[in-house]
């Protein structure tokens, strides 16, 4: 039988192997060196498990847990171990992975029907360690879907079963850890023994599953308490209960029943109610608030939120004026640079703090000022913006990523400010064990907006995304708890709407492009959603900022 030609990126060499050789066998034969244990591979720009066998010529790159896809494999496998441990210790208790927070994953134990004790956590953790020490393989099996559904229901994984029922596939694959079956969209590690570090600690009324640092895997990520953010996630749970939708399967059920319009109307009404409540809080401060700061990460909907808040403030008898921090950029030659020598437009020093504060003080003193306008083509700030003079009842809404940073307003008393942090905190999960990353939600929004309005293809947006995320981790998220209030700009229905727009854009990414890895992952994720039409989304919706059709002028 003719051997298969394999090119290995790690060794930059080509080799011949018999058809059916596994990636694990190839990695051992090539003696791949890595800082951490090899856990999988990128094969023709698709993530594959080490058990994958080659039958055609392939381009292979072996990855460890420091690679983004290696991290995902590690987390999925760790959650499976946590689930198996919970079922071994408490057979009648379920595991619900709610969301990523505080550098870990917040989990609940439905069915426990009492507070989680330190003894409970110790028992679960000891069982996890026993499963890891036993080095049990994660076995992937292709099974008739009807049998998969029966097994999942028997284990109490009704959300997963519902999702499989809706997909309509004859066969599907399921992972097994001993006798426990589970499903994840994405690959797992070869065995439990590959899990070398984790933590499990109490967190509010649940558990926090701790994961290692990417570049220092022997260290766990530091826990940072985020009470305000946690409160928003709890509010999100309440909204999901109001709508009776907490998972993709539940949302699909409404869509299949022709009731998606109801979900849209209620979701948008909840947004409007929340924005009105925020406007009422600002108004209740008896005119002390002079400036409202709106900050948040990329594609969180800051601009539309600011405009909708302005409408609600006007309803309360105030006259809002909007200012963008982008117009206060320093001239290009003064822009700070990052460690790669590239302009760092997301650094606080990229803003002319002194000039910004000077204009605010003059406005609060009743003086007329000419606002600047930054020309992004020339890289210079021009004094050709509108003139502005504040009177009684006037209020400024300042939108920009640095709004929560205490270094922004150096001359303004804190009592004269109201800070709002906004982000798209996805309100549903794929199933009991698979939360939806808020970063994925924002990436899809940004991808659609970039394609429709900025001339970027999906590959361009995907390529820039790690840099965007790095800037957010450095300049935005560390200050989010400084907010007076947080606003969740995500809606329960939106991913089912984004699907129609995102899929054709993602399919334009070619197999020979490095971004193909991420595009295929996102396409698989979106495949679980039944599409929802955007016809009933109102023109004032935050989603219109990305889809088009907004009644606001940007």
Query: pLDDT digit string (tens) for 517-541?
Result: 999 999 999 999 999 999 999 999 9
User: Does residue 240 register a pLDDT over 90?
Assistant: no
pLDDT attached to residue 14? 96
What CATH number is attached to the domain comprising 158?
3.30.980.10
553 within a domain of the structure (yes/no): no
pLDDT attached to residue 528? 96
Q: Region 359-382: what's the mean pLDDT? A: 92
Please tell me whether residues 47 and 90 are part of one structural domain.
no
Please tell me whether residues 472 and 335 are part of one structural domain.
yes
521 contacts 509 by C-beta, under 8 angstroms: no
pLDDT attached to residue 217? 87
Spatial neighbors of 102 by CB under 8 A, at least 6 apart, are: 203, 208, 223, 224, 225, 226
Q: Region 92-102: what's the mean pLDDT? A: 94
31 within a domain of the structure (yes/no): yes
Which residues constitute the domain of residue 175? 70-210
Please tell me whether residues 315 and 431 are part of one structural domain.
yes
C-alpha to C-alpha distances, 152 to 174, 250, 342, nearest whole angstrom = 10, 16, 50
469 within a domain of the structure (yes/no): yes
Question: Which is higher by pLDDT, 293 or 236?
Answer: 293
Confidence of residue 78 (pLDDT cuts 50, 70, 90): very high
User: Does residue 236 register a pLDDT over 90?
Assistant: no
Alpha helices in 49-175 (DSSP H): 68-89, 118-133, 145-154, 158-167
Total domains, the chain: 3
Pick the last residue of a domain from 64, 83, 115: 64
User: Does residue 1 register a pLDDT over 80?
Assistant: no
Please tell me whether residues 445 and 509 are part of one structural domain.
yes
pLDDT in tens, 101-129: 999 999 999 999 999 999 999 999 999 99
- Which pTM does this prediction carry? 0.93
Percent above pLDDT 70 for the chain: 100
Q: Region 442-463: what's the mean pLDDT? A: 95
Pick the last residue of a domain from 210, 240, 259: 210
Please tell me whether residues 494 and 401 are part of one structural domain.
yes
User: Does residue 216 register a pLDDT over 90?
Assistant: no
User: Does residue 242 register a pLDDT over 90?
Assistant: no
Confidence of residue 35 (pLDDT cuts 50, 70, 90): confident
Concatenating the DSSP letter of every residue in 508-547 gives TS-TTSTTHHHHHHHHHHHTTSPP--STTS-TTSTTHHHH
pLDDT attached to residue 284? 94
pLDDT in tens, 133-149: 999 999 999 999 999 99
Please tell me whether residues 272 and 296 are part of one structural domain.
yes
pLDDT attached to residue 424? 93
Please tell me whether residues 59 and 76 are part of one structural domain.
no
Q: Region 475-493: what's the mean pLDDT? A: 95
């Amino acid at each position: 039988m003719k051997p298969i030609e394999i090119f290995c990126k790690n060794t930059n060499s080509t080799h011949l192997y018999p058809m059916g050789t596994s990636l694990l066998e190839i990695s051992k034969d090539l003696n791949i060196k890595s800082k951490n244990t090899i856990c999988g591979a990128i094969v023709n720009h698709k993530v594959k498990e080490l058990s994958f066998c080659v039958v055609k010529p392939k381009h292979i790159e072996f990855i460890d847990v420091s690679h983004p896809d290696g991290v995902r494999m590690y987390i999925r496998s760790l959650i499976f171990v946590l689930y198996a441990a919970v079922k071994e210790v408490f057979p009648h208790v379920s595991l619900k992975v709610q969301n990523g927070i505080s550098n870990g994953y917040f989990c609940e134990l439905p069915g426990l029907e009492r507070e989680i004790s330190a003894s409970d956590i110790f028992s679960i953790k000891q069982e996890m360690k026993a499963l890891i020490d036993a080095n049990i393989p994660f076995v992937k099996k292709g099974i008739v879907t009807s049998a998969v559904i029966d097994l999942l229901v028997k284990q109490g994984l009704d959300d997963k079963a519902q999702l499989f029922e809706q997909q309509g596939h004859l066969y599907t694959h399921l992972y097994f850890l001993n006798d426990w079956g589970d499903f994840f969209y994405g690959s797992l590690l070869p065995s439990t023994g590959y899990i070398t570090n984790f933590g499990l600690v109490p967190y509010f009324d649940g558990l926090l599953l701790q994961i290692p640092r990417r570049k220092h895997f022997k260290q766990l990520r530091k826990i940072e308490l985020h009470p305000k953010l946690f409160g928003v996630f709890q509010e999100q749970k309440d909204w999901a209960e109001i709508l009776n939708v907490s998972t993709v399967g539940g949302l699909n059920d409404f869509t299949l029943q022709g009731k998606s319009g109801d979900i849209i109307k209620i979701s948008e009404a909840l947004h409007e109610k929340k924005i009105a409540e925020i406007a009422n809080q600002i108004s209740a401060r008896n005119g002390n608030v002079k400036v409202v700061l709106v900050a948040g990460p990329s594609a969180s909907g800051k601009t539309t939120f600011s405009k909708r808040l302005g409408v609600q403030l006007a309803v309360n008898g105030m006259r809002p004026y909007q200012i963008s921090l982008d117009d206060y950029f320093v001239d290009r030659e003064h822009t700070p640079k990052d460690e790669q020598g590239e302009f760092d437009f997301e650094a606080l020093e990229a803003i002319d703090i002194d000039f910004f504060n000077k204009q605010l003080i003059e406005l609060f003193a009743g003086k007329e000022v000419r606002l600047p306008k930054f020309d992004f083509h020339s890289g210079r700030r021009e004094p050709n913006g509108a003139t502005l003079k504040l009177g009684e009842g006037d209020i400024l809404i300042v939108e920009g990523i640095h709004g929560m940073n205490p270094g922004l307003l150096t001359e303004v008393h804190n009592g004269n400010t109201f800070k709002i942090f906004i982000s798209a905190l996805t309100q549903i999960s794929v199933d009991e064990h698979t939360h939806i990353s808020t970063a994925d939600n924002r990436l899809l929004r940004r991808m659609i907006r970039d394609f429709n309005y900025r001339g970027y293809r999906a590959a361009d947006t995907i390529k820039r995304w790690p840099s965007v995320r790095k800037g957010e981790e450095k300049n935005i998220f560390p200050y989010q708890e400084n907010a007076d209030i947080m606003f969740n700009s995500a809606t329960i229905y939106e991913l089912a709407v984004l699907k129609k727009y995102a899929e054709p854009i993602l399919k334009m990414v070619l197999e020979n492009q490095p971004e193909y890895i991420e595009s295929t992952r996102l396409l698989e994720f979106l495949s679980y959603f039944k599409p929802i039409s955007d016809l009933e989304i109102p023109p004032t919706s935050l989603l219109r900022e990305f889809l088009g059709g907004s009644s606001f002028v940007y």
